[in-house]
Amino acid sequence: MVTRDCVLPLATCLALLAGTVGHAQSVDAPETGPLTDRAYTPDWDGICAEGAALGEGCDTIRAREIVDAAQPPWRAIGRVNFASTLVRGHCTGTLVGERVVVTASHCLYNQARKSWVPAQSILFAAGYQRGSFAALSRVERYVLDPANDPASRDFAGDPSRDWALLILQDPIGRDTGFVKLGTVSAEALWSAELIFAGYPALREHVLSVERDCGGAEYVLGGRMLVQQCAVMGGDSGGPIFAVDGDDLALVAVLSGVIRDGTSLVSGSVPVGVFLEALGRELGPEAGLPDAVSLPAAPVAGSEPAPAKPAPPPAPIPVYPPPPPRGR
C-alpha cells in the first residue's frame, strides 16, 4: 500500500518530491550542491540498499519480467541514449506518435555541468535489446515544461514538471507503431491495474516489466502520481501503463523515486499535465484523451478560494529553437 504522508501537507510533499527524484545513469557524478534553490540534486544511491522499503529493492528489479522488445507493443518503447564529450548515459522513452517520444526532462539535464544536453547528442533506439533495435533516430529538438528553459543553466526542481517530448528526425513510429495515451480518474485509480516498463541500470540491455504498481494515488492536485513500482536509474522516463484486457494505455511518465519518511515510492507525471504540448506536436488527428478533472490539494482550515480566470498558456520551450516559418 502506498504511504499517505505525502498527500497531507502540500509543502512537505513538494520538499520530499523535489529533493529525491532520481537521475539517469551517467559517468559524471552529480555535484552535491544545486546551482539555485530550484535546481535538482538527483540521488539514486539508496535504492538497492533500501531492500523492502520499495518492494524488495534490487531483488525485485532483477525479478522483473523480461519481454521481447522486438514485438508490439514493447517495440514502441526504447532507450534514450545520450553521449558527448561531457556526458553519456541512458533513460527510457516511449513513442506516442510517428516522431514523438515521451520521457523525463531530467534525463536531458547534465547535473554535473549544469547544462542541457544538446538535441543532436541524443539518439532514440526503439525496441532495443542486447545491442539490437527495431528502429533508430536522432532527436531533432525537444519540448519541455515552460518552467524549464534550455537556454538557462537551471533545472526546475518541481518533479510534476519532469516531462519532455523528443521530436525525432525520422518518423520511425510508422514502422514500430506507437502506444495510445490515456487518463485514469482519481476515483478509479486505486483499483486500476498499472504496470511499468523500463531499462534499469541493473539490466540495461533488456526491457523489463514491473507488474506490481497498484495502490497508486494522485498528489499535488493531480499533477503527480505516486505508485509502488520498484524502479531505479535508467528507468527514468519510462511509461506507466493502465491495463484494460489486452490493451495498454500510457497514463504517466516515470520521474523517479520519492523518499516518503522512512519508505520509498515511485513518482510519475500524469499525461494530463502535458496534454496541451502533446496536442501541439501530434496534431488534432491524434485523438488525445480528455483531461481528467481532479480536485486541488486541500489546505487544512482554509475555505475554497473563488475561481479565477485561467491565465494565457505560457510558451513551451523547445531545443533547439525551430527555424522561422518560410525557410
DSSP 143-187: EE-TT--TTSS-----GGG--EEEEESS-THHHH--PEE----HH
* 34 and 161 co-located in one domain: yes
Number of folded domains in the chain?
Answer: 2
Average pLDDT over residues 90-97: 96
Which grid cell is 201? 541500470
Over residues 5-17, the pLDDT tens digits come to 333 332 333 333 3
When pLDDT is cut at 50, 70 and 90, the band that residue 48 belongs to is: low
Number of other residues whose CB lies within 10 A of the CB of residue 169: 15
Average pLDDT over residues 117-143: 95
Residue 318 falls within a domain, yes or no? no
Higher pLDDT, 56 or 44: 56
* 127 and 263 co-located in one domain: no
Residue 321 falls within a domain, yes or no? no
Number of other residues whose CB lies within 10 A of the CB of residue 136: 17
Range of 194's domain?
5-12+41-67+180-270
* 133 and 208 co-located in one domain: no
pLDDT at position 85, please?
60
Higher pLDDT, 74 or 24: 74
* 35 and 120 co-located in one domain: yes
Which of 6, 39, 261 has the alpha carbon at shortest distance from 162? 39
Distances (CA, A) of 317 to 102, 272, 281, 322: 15, 18, 13, 10
* 171 and 184 co-located in one domain: no
Distance, in Å, from the CA atom of 284 to the CA atom of 279, rounded to the nearest integer, reads 7
Share of the chain above pLDDT 70, in %: 68
Q: What average pLDDT does the structure give for the chain?
A: 75
What CATH number is given to the structural domain containing 196?
2.40.10.10
pLDDT at position 173, please?
97
When pLDDT is cut at 50, 70 and 90, the band that residue 18 belongs to is: very low
